[in-house]
Amino acid sequence: MRKSCRLVVDYMNVLMLGWEFPPFKSGGLGTYLFGFTKALSKKGTKVTFVMPSTGVKINPGFIEVVQAEDYAHLDLIEIEGFDFHPYSPSNNIIYSEEVKSDLERHEAEKNINAYGMDFFSKVKSYTVSAVKKMTSKPCDVIHCHDWMTFPAGIALKKAKNKPLIVTIHSTEFDRTGNQFPNEKICKVERNGLIEADKVITISNYMKNQLIERYNIPEQKIQVVYNGIDKSSYIVDNSNFALNEKVVLFLGRLTIQKGPDWFLEAAYQVLQFKPNTRFVIVGDGDMLSSLINKAIAMGISDKISFSGFQDNVKQFYSIADLFVMPSVSEPFGLTALEAMASKNPVIISKQSGVSEVINHCFKVDFWDVNQLTNKIIGVLEHGSLSHELKHNAFTELQSFSWGSVADQCLEIYKEVV
């Protein structure tokens, strides 16, 4: 009788493609990739991480970071299935504004051209450079994160004859709040999901979107929830004796994150609790309209716009309550960060994190009355706030980057 056998893989060599890595990051993806790759490294996995050029060397000490060069002439290699041409996308204001603000910030502080102004041109340049540099690089598996890296991942899969895994952290539908998604980006997302040997996503909320929007077979998708390094967010806010209650919003100021709904709730709360300050941390294409809206509402003196911040821990430390009113949130890592910082949390039901945390309040993003009531309830009742904080912090014990790494390693072994 013929014996069955399986390949046992103890050591993995992963070629990983991502768009950002600390200190160059614009949101949760950079935080995810730092925690995830560090955990993989601790488990003996060799990771070569390819990101766009930043102009400065990045060496976190636990992975090799390779930066894709900028090419002035993008016709060096024709990438199959990637037919973008450099242009300023009319339907993609979120990207262009986000990249522009990030570039301007770094140029002002360090004179570093981190991402460039023409996003599609940058993506194609990254693809060309990654393929040229990495085709001969040994690896067991290729792992891409989000659509910007999919064309390079597909080309490398074919050139190297290695399995391709893609993790999708958000879709174009999420980033545009399900309004006017860019069809070319949707095409790249769909192609990456189809070409992948396995798809990882960060919630069942997102998994269902991939099935419904892109017709991806359910058995091809595996959910791996985000982790968190709890110790790095524990803060002592006992030294902050503020004379106002502080309600915190932290995220990109885009339609996806729901900052306009946050302002609507702020207006209502201030009618009952005028001694409250609403702090908005982040930058994005909605910033000007939000400032104007706060002025028109007559509450601008109670709204603080901090802009983009590298260090968000200081804001968690002064907050009495964290609110995440996202319109469409694949996961919502900031909710875990707030819980680790011992903040009570209110999140939208339209989020992946709502599937896995219980000690918080959950509301529909559009239900301003319900959100207002929950905010007032937490601010007025110290015992309720304490219970939410204590139980949520305890609940976080089940979230770790080590667990994320373990689950992804099993997927690597499966496809290899």
Per-residue model confidence as pLDDT tens digits over 156-203: 999 999 999 999 999 999 988 878 888 989 999 999 999 999 999 999
Whether the predicted pLDDT of 266 surpasses 60: yes
Q: What is the pLDDT of residue 240?
A: 53
Mean pLDDT of 254-258: 94
CATH top-level class of 13-227+400-415: alpha beta
- Residue spans in the chain of domains classed CATH 3.40.50.2000: 13-227+400-415, 230-398
Q: What is the pLDDT of residue 79?
A: 42
Q: What is the pLDDT of residue 25?
A: 82
pTM of the model: 0.83
Q: What is the pLDDT of residue 309?
A: 86
Q: What is the pLDDT of residue 310?
A: 80
Mean per-residue pLDDT over the chain, rounded: 86
Q: Rounded distance, CA 144 to CA 128, Å?
A: 15
- DSSP letter at 2 equals P
CA dist 153 → 25, 278, 394 (Å) = 21, 42, 39
Mean pLDDT of 82-99: 34
Beta-carbon contacts of residue 295 (< 8 Å; ≥ 6 apart) = none
Q: What is the pLDDT of residue 315?
A: 94
What is the C-alpha radius of gyration for the chain, rounded to an integer number of angstroms?
Answer: 22
Q: In this structure, what are the phi and psi dihedrals at residue 235, rounded to the nearest 5 degrees?
A: -125, 155
Mean pLDDT of 375-393: 95
Whether the predicted pLDDT of 3 surpasses 60: no
In this predicted model, what pLDDT tens digit does every residue of 9-60 receive, in sequence order? 568 999 999 999 999 887 789 999 999 999 999 999 999 999 998 888 999 9
Whether the predicted pLDDT of 74 surpasses 70: no
In this predicted model, what pLDDT tens digit does every residue of 342-378 receive, in sequence order? 999 999 999 999 999 999 999 999 999 999 999 999 9
Q: What is the pLDDT of residue 241?
A: 52
CA dist 351 → 36, 141, 335 (Å) = 21, 30, 10
Q: In this structure, what are the phi and psi dihedrals at residue 145, rounded to the nearest 5 degrees?
A: -120, 110
Q: What percent of the chain has pLDDT over 90?
A: 72
Burial class (CB in 10 A: 0-12, 13-18, 19+), 275: exposed
Measured in residues, the chain has a length of: 416
Query: Which CATH number is 230-398's, of 3.30.750.210, 3.40.50.300, 3.20.10.10, 3.40.50.2000?
Result: 3.40.50.2000
Comparing CA positions, the residue from 355, 312, 317 lying closest to residue 334 is: 312
Mean pLDDT of 97-116: 37
Q: What is the pLDDT of residue 235?
A: 66
Using 50, 70 and 90 to split pLDDT, how confident is the model at 232? Answer: confident
Using 50, 70 and 90 to split pLDDT, how confident is the model at 238? Answer: low
CA dist 29 → 87, 101, 168, 169, 344 (Å) = 25, 17, 10, 8, 23
In this predicted model, what pLDDT tens digit does every residue of 297-322 receive, in sequence order? 999 999 999 998 888 899 999 999 99
Q: What percent of the chain has pLDDT over 70?
A: 84
Place of tokens 């540099």: 133
Using 50, 70 and 90 to split pLDDT, how confident is the model at 138? Answer: very high
